Amino acid sequence: MVDIEGLVSGMVPPVRVPPGLTYDQPFSVISEIGERWRLFAKRVRGGSVIVGVPLSNSHPGVDDLLRSNVQPFGATVESAAEVVTRQVDVTVEYAVIDDSGLLQNAAGGIPLTTNSEAIRHLLGHGAFTTLDGDPYFTVSRQIGDVVANLVLFKDIELEQQMLHNSLRFNMTVAGACWFICAMLAGFYLYGQRGPRITCEQAIAQDEGQTIEFKSSLRWDFKLGRVTKEKEVEVRQRCERNFSDIYRMRALQYIRNY
């Protein structure tokens, strides 16, 4: 709560001038809330001065009234910022805006709009605090030299709830993915495990992906001796017919033999 008379620079965020603004000649605008205004704008060094009258209060000499009431604001934004309400006609309202969009002086309701991007940036980068259990972003800024500190609050309870729900959803999806990956890995390893049968059971079965019958691993019955060629032949047959895991086990068995 700031108890002052008139506008203190820095109290409001940067503003935008009315659409269709022209300088040094009267013009009419309709504000975003439907108000009809007759305005007169003047460029000064460092900014702009806008004086105006709502069309509901206008009279035939309103354009001359606006031209005469823009004179007290001088030629610079600094001199325009020093103007007080008693220096202009009681029916005339005004606003002084510097080149950065900061409202330096104002009286009445000249149809200006705040810069929404600046507000979103301001309220999205403040400190975090909790009031009555509700989370808020807070932005504190000094108004004038010794007038007051202005604290802006933005309720972020909904944003925090949304982030919480998003985190919970992501954790659920991640858990499901890990579970599915573990199941697939288990099925793969189970399918790649070695046969659990005895030699007698193997002999009773036909040849297949896990069983291959050979008369010898290294002994060549024609030559009557161990030959490297016989071992190579058996090795090549294992590599053609067996899957990776069984082929490695078969080749290990051949080496051990």
The beta-carbon contacts of 130-138 under 8 Å, at least 24 apart in sequence, are 135/160
pLDDT score at 257? 47
C-beta neighbour count of 139 within 10 angstroms: 16
**Residues in the chain with pLDDT < 70?**
1-6, 8-10, 57-58, 119, 122-126, 140-154, 192-197, 199, 210, 214, 238-257
pLDDT score at 142? 64
pLDDT score at 6? 63
pLDDT score at 42? 94
Model pTM?
0.49
The DSSP result for the chain, as a single string, is ----SS--TTSS--EEPPTT--BSS-EEEE-TTS-EEEEEEEEEBTEEEEEEEEGGG--TTHHHHHHHHTGGG-SBHHHHHT--GGGS-TT-EEEEEETTS-EEEEES----EE-HHHHHHHHTSSEEEEETTEEEEEEEEEETTTTEEEEEEEE-HHHHHHHHHHHHHHHHHHHHHHHHHHHHHHHHHHHHSPP---HHHHHHSPP-SS----S-SSEETTTTEE-HHHHHHHHHHHHHHS-HHHHHHHHHHHHH-
